[in-house]
Amino acid sequence: MKKIEHPNDNRLKKIIWVRLYAELNDFLHLEQQQKEFALNLKTPVLVSEALESMGIPLSEVDLVLVNSQPAGFKQHLYGGDHLSAFPTFESFDISGLATRQKTPLRATKFILDAHLGKLSKYLRMLGFDSLYRNDFGDDEIIDIAANEKRIILTRDKLLLKSPKVSHGYYVRAINKHEQLHEVIRKFDLNSQFRSFTRCMTCNSPLLSVTAESIRDKTDSGIRALYDEFFLCPQCDKVFWKGSHFKRMEELILDLIRERADP
């Protein structure tokens, strides 16, 4: 006898109900954002395949729920299943739920792609270990990130789709100041600023030095005006808290104010 299909049986229609949270919505078309929507897929399908079919880099996903239960990327989805995904480094509280990442990367270190040179300088200015070279290839960035436990910051969504990427973030903002604000907010870095500890040019840790020791590297006017100097042992640059520092302080105060008054 032929089995009669119930018209409301989503299992047979192969529809998966999807809801993405917070920043993951940035990867969706407007009409799919911030609500549950139907995804038509050939089932069974892996969670990872369903996410990738929507253009979501897996490295951006921290937690997946299938029918309200924590699930892995390799779990199968069937028609009628409900899939929810939460972003990596989530800023809203998901502490009650199991997370996919083993442990967060404690010391916040970055590696940036070729589009984010200015941002790397700002991050170094605030003391964050931020590797950047405009000739790093994608594979090189991915390998260095994995070996040195660095978070990848990129404007290239494709780069984050590699299965070797565990911690990566797609920077949305285009403007360099907004990018800095975005990254500070995203990774909650406000309490970790260590200004004048890292060379803005080459990322090496700076040394605090006396005016006398950098006599041949600065002019006497500068040495008369300032009493704190910092030397990069790698590229031999000298830094002091001049007008550049004043602008930097304002930027930092901005960031702190934004934190206090979101």
Stretch 218-247: interaction string toward Zn ion, x if CB under 5 A: --------------x-xx------------
Residues that bind Zn ion (rule: CB under 5 A) add up to a total of: 7
Residue 202 engages Zn ion in binding (rule: CB under 5 A): yes
201 binds Zn ion (CB under 5 A): yes
- Any contact of residue 197 with Zn ion (CB under 5 A)? no
CB 189, min distance to Zn ion, A: 22
Nearer to Zn ion, 169 or 240 (CB): 240
67 Rama sector, left if φ>0, alpha if ψ -120 to 50, beta otherwise = left
The minimum distance between CB 165 and Zn ion, in angstroms, equals: 28
Whose Cβ is closer to Zn ion: residue 179's or residue 203's?
203
Considering the complex, state which of residue 55 and residue 233 has its C-beta at the smaller distance from Zn ion. 233
Ranges within 143-162 binding Zn ion (CB under 5 A): none
Interface mask (CB under 5 A) for Zn ion, residues 155-194, using x and -?
----------------------------------------
Residues 82-141 that bind Zn ion (CB under 5 A): none
Closest approach, Cβ 133 to Zn ion, in A, equals 13
Binding site for Zn ion (CB under 5 A): 199, 201-202, 204, 232, 234-235
